[in-house]
C-alpha cells in the first residue's frame, strides 16, 4: 500500500543527501554541452535502476528480526551521517566541479547523449550514500513502493536542478550547509532506529 507520508520523508532525505553530490555537478556539465532533455532521459533511467537495486537490498534486510534490523539500520544511518559531516568539513571544496570530467560524444544524437548520462550515473552512483540510504529507508519503512517513488522523484529533482539551473543554486546555497542538513536528518533517523531497537 502506498503512503504519501513515507514517500515525502524519503524524498526530503534523499534530495538533501544527493544535492551536494558530484553527480549533480556532472549533470550540470552535461546539460551545458547537450540538449537538457536528452541528458535527463539517460540520467533518470540510471537513477531508476539504482533505486530498484537499493529497494531490493532494503527489502532483503526486512527479513531480519525487528530489533536487530533497527540496530543495523541505525548503525548505517549513523555511518552515513558521519560521512556527510566529514564532507561538510571540506567546506564545499567540490563546488568548482573540477573532479568531474565528462567527455562529449562525437555525435550529439539522443542515444549518444542519453547513453553518456546513463553510463556516468550508473558508475558514479553505484554504492553511493544515497543508494545506501535508500536501502536503509526501504528496510526501515518496509514499504518498497513508497520508498522507491520518493527516492526516484528526489533523484530526478536533483538531476533536473543540476542540468537546468545547478550553477545558480550553488551560488546561493553553500554545499557544506546542505550536507550538514542532510547529516542532521540522518542522525535523527539513526536515533529513532536505535530507540526502536532498544525498546522493541
CA distance 199 to 99: 45
For residue 64, name the pLDDT band (cuts at 50, 70, 90): low
CA distance 155 to 54: 13
In a domain, 13, yes or no: yes
pLDDT for residue 120 is more than 70: yes
In a domain, 114, yes or no: no
At 58 the pLDDT is 79
In a domain, 158, yes or no: yes
In a domain, 170, yes or no: yes
Number of domains in the chain: 1
Of 4-13, 91-100, 117-126, 156-165, where does the model show the most confidence? 4-13
Q: Quick one: cell of 193?
A: 532506529
pLDDT for residue 105 is more than 60: no
**Which is higher by pLDDT, 142 or 182?**
142
In a domain, 195, yes or no: yes
In a domain, 24, yes or no: yes
Of 85-94, 106-115, 129-138, 172-181, where does the model show the most confidence? 129-138
In a domain, 180, yes or no: yes
In a domain, 44, yes or no: no
Domain with 69, as residue range(s), is 4-28+54-99+123-199
Instruction: Look at 8-17, 88-97, 117-126 and tell me which has the smallest mean pLDDT.
Output: 88-97
Amino acid at each position: 500500500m502506498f503512503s504519501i507520508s513515507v514517500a515525502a520523508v524519503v524524498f526530503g532525505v534523499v534530495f538533501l543527501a544527493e544535492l551536494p553530490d558530484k553527480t549533480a555537478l556532472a549533470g550540470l556539465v552535461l546539460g551545458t554541452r547537450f540538449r537538457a532533455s536528452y541528458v535527463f532521459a539517460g540520467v533518470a533511467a540510471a537513477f531508476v535502476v539504482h533505486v530498484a537495486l537499493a529497494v531490493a537490498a532494503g527489502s532483503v534486510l526486512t527479513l531480519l528480526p525487528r530489533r536487530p534490523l533497527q540496530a543495523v539500520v541505525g548503525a548505517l544511518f549513523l555511518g552515513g551521517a558521519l560521512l556527510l559531516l566529514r564532507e561538510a568539513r571540506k567546506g564545499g571544496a567540490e563546488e568548482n566541479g573540477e573532479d568531474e570530467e565528462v567527455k562529449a560524444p562525437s555525435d550529439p544524437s539522443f542515444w549518444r547523449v542519453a547513453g553518456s548520462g546513463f553510463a556516468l550515473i550508473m558508475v558514479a552512483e553505484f554504492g553511493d550514500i544515497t543508494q545506501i540510504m535508500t536501502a536503509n529507508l526501504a528496510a526501515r519503512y518496509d514499504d518498497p513502493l513508497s520508498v522507491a517513488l520518493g527516492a526516484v522523484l528526489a533523484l530526478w529533482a536533483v538531476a533536473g536542478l543540476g542540468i537546468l539551473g545547478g550553477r545558480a543554486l550553488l551560488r546561493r546555497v553553500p554545499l557544506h550547509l546542505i550536507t550538514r542538513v542532510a547529516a542532521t536528518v540522518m542522525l535523527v533517523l539513526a536515533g529513532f532506529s536505535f530507540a526502536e531497537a532498544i525498546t522493541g
